[in-house]
Amino acid sequence: MSRSMNPPADLRARVLAAAAAKPSRTRSTGQRLATIALVASMVLALSVFELSGGSAHASDRDPALTFELAGGWTAFAAVLAWLTLGRGGSTLARRPQLLAPIAFMTPLACFAWMHVFAGTYVEPFERVGYRCLALTLAMAALPLASFLYLRRGVEPRHPSALGAAAGATCGAWAGVLVDIWCPLTNGPHALFGHVLPLAILAGVGAAAGRRLLALRAR
């Protein structure tokens, strides 16, 4: 059986005319927008961080511990970003078998990493973690919204898995700054203030991804 079949001659003219009638962003424009979104996200996150007291808020903890905690989580967040945003040389996003575990495992990995440091120093105060939760959500909101905007309507395979992984990745990067800011690593605080926002962001990413990233009628 021949795989190719010649479509009617008038289809070519119709498709080319429809394409010309709806100009789309070129790759360089897309890259410029992505760079602007990235810089704006970083500026916003750093502003929120500084307005909340910056690294001085965790000054009662040994700086070496803070460096170790945030450094390890930065490496984890970098791997997540590579897995979620990188596409391995393809135009399609990575497989859902890879993206879905990112969304599920990131909150668990966060708890496990914080647990490594829990009890290794005397915590300066006790907090439930409302501010850590709010800070993570605030810092992750813009990069997640930018990702959803820039990739809207173009994901043909598994938009919710991609959205969930993007949410978890944005949360992980916000978590880096929150780890520098917050001197607490005990279990209950870690669960509420650090793990819960990651789960929320993954959930929001999945729901928003399903609606926004999926192909739209043209």
Partner 1 sequence: MGNSTEEREALSSAMDRYADGDEAAFAVVYDLLAPRLYGFFVRQCGDAARAEDLVQQTLLQMCAARETFARGSDVLPWAFCIGRRLLVDGRRRTKKEVLFATAEEDAAALETRVERFAIPDDVAMTKELAARAEDELERMPESQREAYMLVRQEGLSVAQAAEVLGTTATAIKLRAHRAYEALRTALADAGGEQ
| Binding site residues, partner 1, CB under 8 A | 1-8, 11-12, 14-16, 18-20, 22, 24-31, 87, 89-92, 95-97, 151, 153-154, 156-158, 215, 217-218
CB of 201 to partner 1, least distance (A): 23
CB of 78 to partner 1, least distance (A): 20
Whichever of 127 and 152 has its CB closer to partner 1, that residue is 152
Question: In whole angstroms, how close is the CB of 22 to partner 1 at the nearest point?
Answer: 7
Task: Give bridge partners of residue 155 from the DSSP assignment.
Answer: 214
- Name the residue nearer to partner 1 (CB basis): 31 or 47: 31
Please say whether the beta carbons of 162 and 101 come within 8 A: no
Shortest spacing between CB 14 and partner 1, in angstroms: 7
Residue 12 vs 211, nearer CB to partner 1: 12
Nearer to partner 1, 34 or 134 (CB): 34
Tokens of 39: 């810089």
Could you tell me if 144 and 41 are in contact, meaning their C-beta atoms sit under 8 angstroms apart? no
Note whether 206 and 161 are within 8 A (CB): yes
d(CA 150, CA 140): 16
* CB-based contact 148:209 (threshold 8 Å): yes
Dihedral (CA of 94, 95, 97, 100) sign? positive
Q: How many CB atoms lie within 10 A of CB 100?
A: 18
The smaller minimum CB distance to partner 1, of residues 12 and 115, is found at 12
Closer residue to partner 1, CB minimum distance, 91 or 125: 91
How many Cβ atoms are within 10 Å of 215's Cβ, its own excluded? 11
**Min dist. Cβ of residue 188 to partner 1 (A):** 38
Taking the complex as a whole, the smallest distance from the CB of residue 189 to partner 1 amounts, in Å, to 38
d(CA 66, CA 56): 11
